[in-house]
Chains A and B, each alone.
Chain A
Amino acid sequence: MSQPHLDLHESPSSEPRRGFMTHILAAGIGLLVGAIPACAGLAFFLDPLMRKKKGASGDGFIKMPVALEALEIGGEPQLVKIIMDKVDAWNTYLKQPVGAVYLRRTDKDKVAAFNSRCPHLGCAVDYKPAEKHYFCPCHTSTFDVDGVLQNDIPPRGLDTLDVQIRNGSEVWLKFQNFRATTPEKIPVG
């Protein structure tokens, strides 16, 4: 190993100017040898913040297993699990349930979709048919059938998702999660 040309063992009795240099160099090198691995580690640790999102193929819409006709106009919301390929670090899981949405047909060719994640703190809301409310079992957030908040626990209403009706009866949906706790809808990931 090549060493900087330094003799740290020089006796303290040598000239004071060199003594001062020794202080600076010793402290500087000490900091440097600590900082290099620390910075490398820190950069490594910050990976999740720096990671670029891979461009999703297609328009991001996926077909729901429920046909339009199966949903009654103005009827009860249907819970549908979202099955998608999921990438988790080194694994890609094919066709995994990654979340759930509530689908409700509001008109002849209109379907409203809500992400079942509560915008308060991310628990899954339950639809209670008898009460015609969505209810979160964690901190009692309540929403009406249109996803509008009914008490002041959640910061916003249930998160609506984009829905398209294709080929007359297919329900396609763009699944997204949104950040909890904020009054605005901010997509995650």
Chain B
Amino acid sequence: MNALINWLDNRTGLKKLMHEALYENIPGGARWRYVWGSTLMFTFTIQVITGLFLWTAYSPSTTTAWESVYYIQHHMQYGWLVRGLHHFSASAMTVLLALHLMQVVIDGAYKAPREINFWLGLILMQIVLGLSLTGYLLPWDQKGYYATQVSTEIMGATPVVGPQLQQLAQGGPQYGHHTLTRFFAMHAGVLPGTLIAFIVLHIAVFRRHGITVPDPDRAPATTFWPDQVLKDGIACLAVLGTVLTLTIWHHGAELAAPADPSEAYSAARPEWYFLFLFQFLRFEWVEHQGLAFGAIYLPGALMAILAAMPIIGRWKVGHAFNVVFLFVMMVGIIGLTGLALKNDAADPDFTAAVRQAHDDSVRIEELAERPEGIPLEGAVSLLRADPKAQGPRLFARNCAPCHRYDGHDGTGRKVTRKDAIVAEVLEKQADGTKKKVKKIVGYKPPVEELATASDLGKFGSPDWIKAVITDFKKTFAALENVKDKDDKSKIAESSKHFLEGEMAGWSSSHANHWRADAKNEHALDDLVAFLYSQGQRRGAPGVSDEAPKRGRQIFETGILPVGKFESNCIDCHSLQPIGEDKLLGEVGAGPTLTSYGGDRWLREFLSNPGHEKFYGSNNTMPAFGERLTEKELDLLVRWMVGDYE
């Protein structure tokens, strides 16, 4: 063994190298406060290892990036673990960077002759932040896509060369394949390569000047190996433990729904360690100075002060200034991050957007797991063609201004109104003079906006049909919120047509019929079953089942086990039973009930509710056949009737 080592040493100088690496002198003994640099090296090593393995499975293009990450996350052996380690180590690295910087500044390790090494460290910090910025986009999910777009727009605001820089980063005027190939080349090639080069310099210069020891007489001097290495090792173990715990706890890193440039994403936020910058850009006084000020000059100025610390440190109270400055900066960053989190938690729109984003990510998993798998056009095409994903959005956009869906707008958001507080403020004009202008200075707390049409959460279900028959007024009570144009204390005429119309009258005058006898209650269920079966929804009874058959008798004749309708359903409604040519009743008086609540009825109704076979001249609802594309109408209808898996 010894002979072999000597042979190697003779040819490579191995022993001297090892000695230099391991037996660095540490005056004052090994200490915990020196571990930060080593833990950073360790997390970087995790990133290199996990990153290289992820590389073997990642495919950068707009139709394969999300898909390959999805495959890594859900199908590859321990893919979630490798990806999770990579994700959480990136966060750990940022925290450790901050700690390392703080330790260096507090101990004064930036002072002569170590200035250059301090600057090398600041460059390393920029590279690490660049790595996390480029890495955030690579999964090509909604979260990364929209957050990174903000970053590249900021890049575009750089004075003079901004637009060119932005185009080069994006690989074109818009995001596309080349945005991914370029970000990936940066993330996996250029930045780590540069990082390694700078780490070599950083460590070489560090070894040249040795460790900065605040009190060398604290304990007897020791060497790096094994005393400090042991402490470093324990610290690395703690870091790894934390990262592993987070990874297992979250079962890897989150993967949001695939990026869709046409689908607004209201939950877009940068990675948590950039939240302070994000929050900063939400202050109007920052924007008054121009975007470049908030996003480029000010962070640049902070970095410049950091870089100037070795020079400031020469001044008598320079070191104290540096420590206080860093402390204030950290408090500011933590404060802004906290403020951003607090604002978001208190914002119902944001929490709803996060919930919807989560629902989408769950749904796309269901869709991708089907036997057909993910098509060549990419996973986003699955989500775009999915009634369950698109229906709520279409409802929120088109129906929720008047209707509700189980009390919300379809997507789970309450429909609220935040009234603006407008005040006159003095504002400086372009010519330097001041002028009074009306401006929004804030918002009142949100109040729930009243619905002006029925809640459609149960539309077409047996419960709905039953409610329309037995308590029509209550089902459509929201119409009372439509007020007369001239006299706001009165209900609008258009609503009265419904609330005081024939069906409302029929419903209330027959309310006692159902309660008259237990048999009548069953008869009501039969009638409901008949109408429900005609809609031919999934799970509805067949039209020739017993209950619908009995219900049809009641629909046609009005004869109940006990008593009889005063006027029959077919006196006002028409209905062409499924599979038959004959029309029951006549088209005209009341809405047709042919396949009521089913796909066909709803499609025709939404297209033109003012048609004579529906509401005719009583109609106040817009015709959505003119507003929605055929595809949108299809998705909305299929969602509302539950025609999806």
Contact = CB atoms under 8 A, between A and B. Distances in A.
Given A137-B350, A152-B287, A90 B261 contact: no
Contact of B153 (A78, A121, A150): A121
B433 interface: no
Contact of A122 (B149, B349, B397, B627): B149
Contacts of B623: 70
A160 interface: no
A19 interface: no
B627 A66 contact: yes
Contacts of A123: 146, 149-150, 264-265, 268
B29 interface: no
Contacts of A67: 626
A151 B417 contact: no
Given A100-B262, A152-B287, A137 B353 contact: yes
B177 A98 contact: no
A89 interface: yes
A60 interface: no
A120 B171 CA distance: 21
Interface string A125-159: 11011110100011110100000001111110000
A154 B157 CA distance: 13
A121 B449 CA distance: 30
B401 interface: yes
Contacts of B150: 121-123, 138
A121 B415 CA distance: 26
A33 interface: no
A98 B626 contact: no
> Which of A51, A116, A179 has the most CB atoms of chain B within a 10 A radius of its CB?
A179
A78 B401 CA distance: 12
Contacts of A88: 62, 176-177
A133 B349 CA distance: 15
A188 B164 CA distance: 12
Interface string B87-104: 000000000000000000
B226 interface: no
Interface string B51-77: 000000000001100000000000000
B553 interface: no
Contacts of A28: none
Nearest to B175: A88
Nearest to A82: B262
B179 to A, nearest CB: 9
A59 B264 CA distance: 28
Contacts of B197: none
Nearest to A81: B262
> Which of B153, B163, B377, B628 has the most CB atoms of chain A within a 10 A radius of its CB?
B153
B262 A155 contact: no
A99 to B, nearest CB: 6
B284 interface: yes
Contact of A181 (B153, B267, B416): B153
Interface string A43-87: 001111101000000000000011101101000101101100000
Given A88-B62, A122-B153, A49 B262 contact: no
Q: Is the interface of A mostly helix, strand, loop or mixed?
A: loop
B157 A181 contact: yes
A150 B422 CA distance: 10
A46 B168 contact: yes
Given A46-B168, A122-B150, A153 B626 contact: no
Interface string B307-319: 0000000000000
A154 B365 CA distance: 36
A118 to B, nearest CB: 10
Contacts of B512: none
Contact of A51 (B163, B172, B401): B172
B157 A139 contact: no
A158 B353 CA distance: 23
A31 to B, nearest CB: 20
B266 A48 contact: no
Interface in A91-137: 91, 93, 96-100, 116, 120-126, 128-131, 133, 137
A131 B176 CA distance: 35
B174 interface: yes
Contacts of A133: 420
B439 interface: yes
A179 B156 contact: yes
A188 B629 CA distance: 28
Contact of B261 (A51, A99, A128, A137): A99
A139 B622 CA distance: 33
A111 to B, nearest CB: 13
A182 B629 CA distance: 34
Given A48-B170, A152-B287, 11 more contacts: A65-B628, A72-B622, A79-B397, A89-B178, A90-B177, A98-B262, A121-B153, A130-B416, A130-B449, A150-B439, A180-B156
17 contacts: A46-B168, A49-B164, A49-B167, A67-B626, A70-B622, A79-B397, A82-B262, A89-B177, A120-B287, A122-B149, A123-B265, A128-B417, A137-B264, A137-B266, A137-B349, A142-B420, A181-B157
Interface of B: 62-63, 146, 149-150, 153-154, 156-157, 163-164, 167-168, 170-174, 176-178, 260-268, 278, 281-282, 284, 287-288, 290-291, 349-350, 353, 377, 384, 397, 401, 415-420, 439-440, 449, 622-623, 626-629
Q: 9 tightest A-B contacts by CB?
A: A189-B173, A124-B264, A97-B262, A70-B626, A130-B417, A88-B176, A137-B266, A181-B157, A89-B177
